[in-house]
C-alpha cells in the first residue's frame, strides 16, 4: 500500500493525494518559506505563512490567496478514528487536590496569566511538599484556598480560564 495524504483546505475541501503525486511535483525553494511550483505547465508562487507541525495545520499563500491546510497521513487518520488524536482530551479548567494535605504557599493571584508547567501552589501531604503546576496556558479565574488551609482529596484549589 502506497502512503497517501488526506488534505483538508479551509475546512471545506477534502483531497486524497498519493505520495507519487507529491514526488512528481516540480518545486524550487526560493527561501526557507517560499517556493516556486510548476504543475501542469502552470506556475505558482507559494509561501508558508504559519505552520504547526504537531497539529499538522498550515497557513499557505498561493498566488496571493491564503488557505488553511490540514494534512493527515494514513496513521493520523487511524489515530483520529480511534479517538486518540492530540488535543482530544478534555480541557482542564479546575485544579483539585490530588490528596488531603496542607497548603504551604500559593504562587499565583486571580487574573494572573500562567503558562503550562508554571508552579501554582505547594501542597504538603504525608510530610512531602508537592508543587502543583498548571496543566495548560491560561489565566487564573479563582483561587479557593489560602496559605495554611487544610484540604481534602478532590477539593477545588484553583480555576483557570
Other Cβ atoms within 10 Å of 138 Cβ, number: 20
CA distance 132 to 96: 10
CA distance 157 to 119: 13
| pLDDT-wise least confident of 40-44, 71-75, 92-96, 105-109 | 71-75
Other Cβ atoms within 10 Å of 9 Cβ, number: 13
- Mean model confidence pLDDT for the chain: 87
Q: Which residue has the higher pLDDT, 140 or 2?
A: 140
Q: Give every CB contact of residue 101 below 8 A, 6+ residues apart in sequence.
A: 123, 124, 125, 126, 130, 150, 151
Domains, the chain, ordered by start: 4-82 (no CATH), 94-160 (2.40.50.100)
Amino acid at each position: 500500500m502506497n502512503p497517501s495524504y488526506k488534505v483538508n483546505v479551509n475546512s471545506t475541501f477534502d483531497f486524497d493525494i498519493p505520495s507519487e503525486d507529491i514526488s512528481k511535483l516540480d518545486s524550487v525553494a526560493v527561501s526557507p518559506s517560499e517556493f516556486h511550483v510548476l504543475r501542469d505547465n502552470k506556475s505558482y508562487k507559494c509561501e508558508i505563512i504559519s505552520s504547526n507541525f504537531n497539529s499538522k495545520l498550515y497557513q499557505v499563500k498561493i498566488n496571493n490567496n491564503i488557505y488553511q491546510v490540514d494534512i493527515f497521513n494514513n496513521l493520523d487518520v487511524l489515530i483520529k478514528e480511534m479517538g486518540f488524536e492530540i488535543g482530544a482530551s478534555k480541557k482542564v479548567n479546575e485544579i483539585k487536590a490530588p490528596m488531603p494535605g496542607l497548603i504551604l504557599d500559593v504562587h499565583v493571584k486571580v487574573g494572573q496569566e500562567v503558562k503550562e508547567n508554571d508552579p501554582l501552589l505547594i501542597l504538603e501531604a504525608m510530610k512531602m511538599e508537592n508543587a502543583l503546576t498548571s496543566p495548560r496556558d491560561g489565566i487564573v479565574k479563582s483561587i479557593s484556598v489560602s496559605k495554611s488551609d487544610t484540604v481534602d482529596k478532590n477539593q477545588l484549589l484553583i480555576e483557570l480560564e
